[in-house]
Amino acid sequence: MADFATEFITKLNGKLTPEQMKVVLNELEIFSDDYNIEKKCRDVAVPDDLLPACYKVYMVSKKIEGMSPQSLITYKCYLEQFLYAVGKPVEKITANDIRLYLYGLVGKNSDHTIDTKRIVINTFLDWCCREYYIPENPCAKIHAIKYEEKPREPLDGIEMEMVRDACVDLREIAMIEFFYSTGCRVSEMAILKKEDIDFSTKEVRLFGKGRKHRVSYLNARAEYTLQKYWTTRKDDTDAVFCTIRKPYHALQKQAIEQVIHNIGVRSGIGRPLFPHLIRHTTATNAIDHGMDVTDLQKLLGHTRISTTMIYAKVTQENVRYSHHRYVV
């Protein structure tokens, strides 16, 4: 929905005055609350009879193991594109087949995307090997594709205040504070119920990636704004965040992302705002203020400590502070 709104407003540029475009954007924000708009997938559908039986078993096993719906969609898309392009039974696929396929993606996909597709293919073929569908994994011979990873900068203090000031109602400010306080994922917020929050202990019971439960916490700002938002609601749903129009229902993932995107546009921070950026900001600030990395790992729900260590990069400001504190 965020991409749709951006493209739609861009196409109106020059046809309407800035004031008219602002009115259209505001109306679009309100109207889109009750809808999920996704771009049509124009990929060629792979005939079901061309897909090997082991692929179907693999996808079922991933679902049983708790892979997220979005990851399942990604794996399905990438693997079906690969199997259709190679056009061979799995047991006859060679390392050169995979290399030629990946080489054909150069110029069409970024190096990062190509490497992600390599990882998906490797994961599938490794599973096939362990399940004795193939004698060895031909993708194991292919090295990772190097790419320049752009560091994602968290919101600084001024940007966070600009985001807060850009909120136009209690639902928006409560959503921002909730994301920041809990560090939750957008998929976790979308299924959250009122009963999952205990104001007496400030605990928030989250159910998220990998079908795992964890507990996060509300700070004073998040608790205050959330309770204030709830007092203004006229619905009888048990969703923590819901639509503003009848029939009332929980905000879905795309709708939440659209709300956050719209706040970012109004804030003037000069870059896209999305839920994971707020989560990134929470993690970075927690590390900067001395939270132990293992505690942060538990708070964020990371399976591997290496994922959490992304936020533990030493900044020059940290070095300067430590120098002034310890080198006297």
Report the catalytic residues. 185, 209, 276, 279, 302, 311
Euclidean distance between CA atoms 187 and 208, whole angstroms: 7
Instruction: Give the residue from 157, 156, 153, 176 showing the smallest Cα distance to 166.
Output: 176
Evaluate the omega torsion of the peptide bond into residue 247 and state whether it is cis, within 30 degrees of 0: yes
Distance between CA atoms of residues 34 and 48, nearest Å: 34
3: Cβ–Cβ under 8 A, 6 or more apart, which residues?
39
39: three-class secondary structure by DSSP: coil
Nearest-5° angle of CA 197, CA 176, CA 281? Answer: 105
Task: Dig out the tokens for 124 from the structure.
Answer: 């599938």
> Which H helix or E strand runs over 207?
strand 203-208
Tokens 């039974």 appear where? 89
Which of helix, strand or coil describes residue 310?
A: helix
Strand-pair category, 197-198 with 212-217: unpaired
